[in-house]
């Protein structure tokens, strides 16, 4: 394929070298004369492992060149990659002026072109940018999106220092577009890349890079806070984190990475509080660790707000223990929700096949005594009776019997744990999806 790349900085230069290595012809476009001159001399525009050799080899094979002429680049290519900068403004917003200007230029060029053209957004942009870019190109080209051209969101996952290796062996390739023809062309372009290709909604493709990098920043800060606590205790922090990273079932896995209800149970709240208390006793500031519980409480508040927003008073709660398949109510987040609703005058009835008042002992019994002294009047033996009575059903854990609920047209279901079978219900509301 013949490819044009707008922006010959980090992402653009690496893309140029790697695509040329795969046998594609690449035309670079940049407003900076020195970058155009370097590419046309067979030199990279950045300092990065292996890129000098790739650019030099591609130049020698006449697979790459650079120009200031955006029209010439678009008219002589099949795909245009947008790799221009999206810097932050003083207030933290993205400055998308460069990418919108590039879209205008591509639109002007496409006015003179009769064949289908794919525009690929590699720059990091927020949701909605793909749609706005398409509108700009339509305006300046007079062409119709998804018929004469299409815009594909294809975020990059490159790390400085290993960018060439990352390009050739990415963890995955993400593609988002409203045009199936453009997706097929991009799948063909990436067919030899050693990674799965994930075709997703445009908005998912636009947002994922921000989620990735925010999490990477969180990991750095988390490890540093743990390391600081370890140092004060005289504990080897690298050994602690080495052991932490060995757990691939929970610590480094997809297990907890599913938006849902707040955490609870006997371990997470207790141990987090203990670590925070330890840091406090050492006169240390650990703002990330301190913020975890506060964020969890705010998540619980969202549940209360969702229920209040229904303006209904008869609330049926399905699931009382902190997770399915247990009767453990220690720090069960739904207990706090029920306590809050009762205090606001709501009538609450609860069904949980694993919880029986006659079997409550120890900490479970004290939870009820302290927080839900009237549980005996709330707890029902029959799921059917709660379904028949409630105006709003709050699903708080993933018992199999909740998958087949049959609701009336007037009933509202608020799902805190995401049971896919419930999403077809008429008045379904997910907590954070």
Token pair recorded at residue 404: 């087949």
pLDDT at 322: 84
Average predicted confidence (pLDDT) for the chain? 93
Token pair recorded at residue 30: 């940049």
Token pair recorded at residue 433: 């999806």
To which residue do tokens 């790697």 refer?
Answer: 18
pLDDT at residue 308 above 60? Answer: yes
Q: Do domains 2-200 and 296-430 have the same CATH topology?
A: yes
For 57, 115, 133, 410, the CA distances from 150, given in Å and listed in that order, are 32, 12, 10, 42
Domain boundaries along the sequence of the chain = 2-200, 203-257, 296-430
Q: Are 64 and 16 contacting, i.e. CB atoms less than 8 angstroms apart?
A: yes
Based on the number of CB atoms within 10 Å of its own CB, is 73 exposed (0-12), middle (13-18) or buried (19 or more)?
Answer: buried
| Whole-angstrom distance, CA of residue 335 vs CA of residue 307 | 15
SS3 432: coil
The pLDDT tens digits of the residues spanning 167-204 come to 999 999 999 999 999 999 999 999 988 889 999 999 99
To which residue do tokens 């960018």 refer?
Answer: 163
Eight-class DSSP state of 423: G
SS3 421: helix
pLDDT at 247: 96
| Whole-angstrom distance, CA of residue 374 vs CA of residue 175 | 53
| Whole-angstrom distance, CA of residue 372 vs CA of residue 346 | 14
DSSP codes, 353-412: TT--GGG--HHHHHHHHHH-TTHHHHEES-HHHHHHH-SEEEE-S--GGGGG----TT-E
Superfamily of domain 2-200: NAD(P)-binding Rossmann-like Domain (3.40.50.720)
| Whole-angstrom distance, CA of residue 113 vs CA of residue 143 | 10
pLDDT at 92: 76
pLDDT at 350: 94
For 10, 38, 81, 178, the CA distances from 6, given in Å and listed in that order, are 12, 15, 6, 22
Eight-class DSSP state of 117: E
In this prediction, residue 262 has a pLDDT band, given cuts at 50, 70 and 90, of very high
| Whole-angstrom distance, CA of residue 177 vs CA of residue 200 | 8
Q: Are 263 and 292 contacting, i.e. CB atoms less than 8 angstroms apart?
A: no
In this prediction, residue 316 has a pLDDT band, given cuts at 50, 70 and 90, of very high
The pLDDT tens digits of the residues spanning 199-243 come to 999 999 999 999 999 999 999 999 999 999 999 999 999 999 999
The pair phi, psi for residue 369, each rounded to 5°, is -60, -40
The pLDDT tens digits of the residues spanning 279-303 come to 999 999 999 999 999 999 999 999 9
Bridge partner residues of 347 (DSSP): 314
Residues known to be catalytic: 267
Q: State the average pLDDT over residues 106-133.
A: 96
pLDDT at residue 34 above 70? Answer: yes
pLDDT at residue 85 above 70? Answer: yes
In this prediction, residue 365 has a pLDDT band, given cuts at 50, 70 and 90, of low
Query: What is the per-residue burial (b if ≥16 Cβ within 10 Å, else e) of 161-195?
Result: eebbebbbebeebbbbbbbeebbebbeebeeebee
In this prediction, residue 265 has a pLDDT band, given cuts at 50, 70 and 90, of confident
For 110, 117, 176, 180, 302, the CA distances from 144, given in Å and listed in that order, are 11, 11, 18, 15, 42
pLDDT at residue 324 above 90? Answer: no
| Closest to 271 (Cα-Cα) out of 289, 250, 249, 248 | 289
113 CB-side CA count, 13 A: 29
Superfamily of domain 296-430: NAD(P)-binding Rossmann-like Domain (3.40.50.720)
Of all residues in the chain, what percent are helix, strand and coil, respectively (each to 5)? 45, 15, 40
């Amino acid at each position: 394929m013949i490819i044009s790349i707008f922006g010959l900085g980090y992402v653009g230069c690496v893309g140029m070298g790697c695509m040329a290595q795969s046998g594609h012809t690449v035309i670079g476009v940049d407003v900076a004369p020195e970058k155009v001159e370097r590419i046309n001399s067979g030199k990279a525009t950045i300092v990065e492992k292996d890129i000098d050799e790739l650019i030099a080899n591609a130049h020698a094979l006449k697979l790459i060149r650079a120009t200031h002429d955006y029209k010439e680049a678009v008219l002589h290519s099949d795909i245009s990659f947008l790799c221009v900068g999206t810097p932050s403004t003083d207030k933290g917003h993205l400055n998308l002026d460069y990418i919108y200007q590039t879209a205008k230029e591509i639109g002007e060029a496409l006015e003179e072109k009769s064949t289908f053209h794919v525009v690929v957004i590699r720059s990091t942009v927020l949701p909605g940018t793909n749609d706005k870019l398409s509108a700009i190109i339509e305006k300046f080209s007079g062409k119709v999106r998804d018929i004469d051209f299409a815009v594909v969101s294809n975020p990059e996952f490159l790390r400085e220092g290993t960018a060439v290796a990352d390009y050739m062996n990415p963890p995955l390739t993400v593609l988002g577009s409203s045009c199936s023809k453009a997706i097929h062309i991009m799948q063909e372009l990436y067919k030899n890349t050693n990674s799965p290709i994930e075709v997703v909604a445009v908005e998912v493709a636009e947002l994922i890079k921000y989620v990735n990098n925010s999490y990477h920043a969180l990991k750095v800060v988390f490890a540093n806070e743990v390391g600081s606590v370890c140092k004060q205790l005289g504990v080897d922090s690298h050994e602690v984190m080495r052991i932490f990273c060995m757990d691939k079932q929970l610590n480094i896995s997809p297990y907890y990475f599913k938006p849902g209800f707040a955490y609870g149970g006997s371990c997470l709240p207790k141990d987090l509080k203990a670590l925070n208390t330890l840091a406090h006793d050492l006169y240390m500031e650990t703002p990330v660790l301190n913020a975890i519980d506060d964020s969890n409480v705010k998540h619980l508040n969202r549940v209360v707000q969702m229920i209040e927003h229904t303006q209904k008073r008869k609330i049926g709660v399905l699931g009382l223990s902190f997770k399915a398949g247990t009767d453990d109510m220690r720090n069960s987040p739904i207990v706090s929700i029920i306590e809050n609703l009762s205090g606001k005058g709501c009538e609450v009835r609860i069904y949980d096949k694993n919880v029986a008042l006659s079997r409550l002992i120890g900490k479970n019994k004290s939870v009820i005594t302290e927080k839900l002294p009237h549980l005996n009047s709330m707890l029902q033996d029959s799921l059917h009776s709660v379904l028949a009575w409630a105006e709003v059903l709050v699903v708080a854990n993933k018992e199999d019997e909740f998958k087949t609920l049959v609701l009336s047209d007037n009933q509202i279901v608020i799902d805190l744990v995401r049971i896919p079978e419930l999403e077809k219900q008429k008045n379904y509301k997910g907590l954070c999806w």
